[in-house]
Structure 1
């Protein structure tokens, strides 16, 4: 384990440890399964970076010998003042546009889950951002059809 911090307490499971401005790591999400922890990290990153803060995350989990190991390290950069000034003309979503985006995201996430395709929340968000609602429904129908073949 090459890390500056200690492994999370207890038996190995999937754990997201976050580090913010103070430098202290805390357990932010934990589960016996990777997908809920990965989803929580994506949502936390979106919320924290939108406030202008940085977020560092270490994803811990069980190794093949059932001991702790670091599975991934991520650093999310906050949207700072310089970024905001550079993108002053960027369109922000209206409440309706946000609801439509959320709906596309939910459609895609559910279809990926049903078809047993693993994707991170960030990957789903990128796809949802670039599809129309009809496009998202088309993709979900393809995923559902592909999932029935298994």
Structure 2
């Protein structure tokens, strides 16, 4: 069996947060597939994606970046860990599982809309604005805003 060497994923831009990147073999590039201020929703999203990709017979190659001592750190992601998603659990300093998951989903939808609109390298005040929208809007409204951003780019 031949082993393919993939280039290491690039460090994400902006302030350290939890960011997962997936390798796209067709373009030999890395793409952000999930991000959140908390690790649990990103790992949960990775598990869901791994399950879907593998069910379709694909190869799921990811890289996980997160904060450590105020700087970016790449973390080891075992594909075995991503194979069986478990809902994130809340620790003493984290919001409840459902609240965190829904907040993470709204944030991912907005960030995806911004990316499709051509806004990739967000400043800290941009992330603060996204977080403010996530906290104030329901999921349906967030999806509509992301749809507008995407349509504006076309």
Sort the TM-score into its range (normalised by shorter chain).
Answer: 0.3 to 0.5
Larger radius of gyration: 1
TM-score, length-scaled by structure 1: 0.47
TM-score, length-scaled by structure 2: 0.46
